[in-house]
Structure 1
Amino acid sequence: MTASKNEPMTATIEMMEAGGRTLRVATWRLDDDLDHPPILFFNGIGANIEAVAPLAEKLTERAFVMFDMPGTGESPDPALPYNPFTMSWTARQVLDQLGIAEVDVMGVSWGGAMAQHFALQYPKRTHRLVLAATTAGMLMVPGNPAALTKMANPRRYIDPKYMNEHFQTLYGGIDPDGGANQKTSHIGRLKPPSPRGYFYQLIAMLGWTSLPALPLMKKETLVMMGDDDQIVPLVNGRILASAIPNAHLEVIAGGGHLFLLTHADQCIGKLRAFLDAPTTEAELARAA
Structure 2
Amino acid sequence: MASAEVSMEKIGGRTLRVARWRLDMPSDHLPVLFFNGIGANIEAVAPLAEALSDRGFIMFDMPGIGKSPDPVVPYNTATMAWTAAKVLDRFGLEEVDVMGISWGGGLAQHFAIQHPRRTRRLVLVATSAGMLMIPGNPAALTKMANPRRYVDADYMAQHFETLYGGALGDASGKGGHMARLSPPSPRGYMYQLIAMLGWTSAPALPFMKKDTLILMGDEDQIVPLLNGKFLNMLIPNSELVVMEGGGHLFLLSHKDQSVAAIRSFLDPEESPSGRVERKRAA
Fold conserved between structures, TM > 0.5: yes
Q: Is the 8 Å Cα contact of residues 157 and 163 (structure 1) preserved in structure 2?
A: yes
Q: What percent of counterpart residues are identical?
A: 67
Aligned to 1:190: 181
Aligned to 1:246: 237
Q: Relative to structure 1, is the Cα distance of residues 77 and 37 closer, same or farther in structure 2, using a 3 angstrom cutoff? A: same
Q: Is the 8 Å Cα contact of residues 20 and 58 (structure 2) preserved in structure 1?
A: yes
The yes-or-no answer on 1:36 pairing with 2:29 is yes
In 2, Cα distance between the equivalents of 1:140 and 1:34?
37
What is the identity, as a one-letter code, of the residue corresponding to 2:19?
A
Q: Is the 8 Å Cα contact of residues 173 and 257 (structure 1) preserved in structure 2?
A: no
Q: Is the 8 Å Cα contact of residues 168 and 252 (structure 2) preserved in structure 1?
A: no
Q: Is the 8 Å Cα contact of residues 35 and 59 (structure 2) preserved in structure 1?
A: yes
Q: CA deviation at 1:173?
A: 4.1
Write out aligned runs for 1:2-151 (5 A).
8-151=1-144
In 1, Cα distance between the equivalents of 2:166 and 2:218?
8
Q: Is the 8 Å Cα contact of residues 21 and 57 (structure 2) preserved in structure 1?
A: yes
The yes-or-no answer on 1:201 pairing with 2:192 is yes
Q: CA deviation at 1:25?
A: 0.1
Q: What are the superposed Cα offsets for residues 21-75 of structure 1, whole Å, 9 maximum, x if unpaired?
A: 0000000000000111100000000000000100001110121000000000000
Q: CA deviation at 1:175?
A: 3.9
Instruction: Give unpaired runs (5+ residues) of structure 2.
Output: 275-282
Q: CA deviation at 1:9?
A: 3.2
- Matched length: 271
Deviation beyond 6 Å, 4+ runs, structure 1: none
What is the identity, as a one-letter code, of the residue corresponding to 1:58?
A
In 2, Cα distance between the equivalents of 1:44 and 1:215?
24
Moved more, 255-264 or 143-152: 255-264
What is the identity, as a one-letter code, of the residue corresponding to 1:16?
E
The yes-or-no answer on 1:257 pairing with 2:248 is yes
Moved more, 10-19 or 37-46: 10-19
Q: CA deviation at 1:278?
A: 3.6
What is the identity, as a one-letter code, of the residue corresponding to 1:251?
V
In 1, Cα distance between the equivalents of 2:250 and 2:267?
21
In 2, Cα distance between the equivalents of 1:156 and 1:9?
26
What is the identity, as a one-letter code, of the residue corresponding to 1:139?
L
Query: Secondary structure of the equivalent of 2:40?
Result: coil
What is the identity, as a one-letter code, of the residue corresponding to 1:218?
K
Q: What are the superposed Cα offsets for residues 228-253 of structure 1, whole Å, 9 maximum, x if unpaired?
A: 10000000000001100000000001
Of 220, 224, 244, the residue aligned with 2:215 is: 224
Q: Is the 8 Å Cα contact of residues 168 and 174 (structure 2) preserved in structure 1?
A: no
Query: Secondary structure of the equivalent of 1:119?
Result: helix
In 2, Cα distance between the equivalents of 1:175 and 1:88?
32
Query: Secondary structure of the equivalent of 2:252?
Result: helix
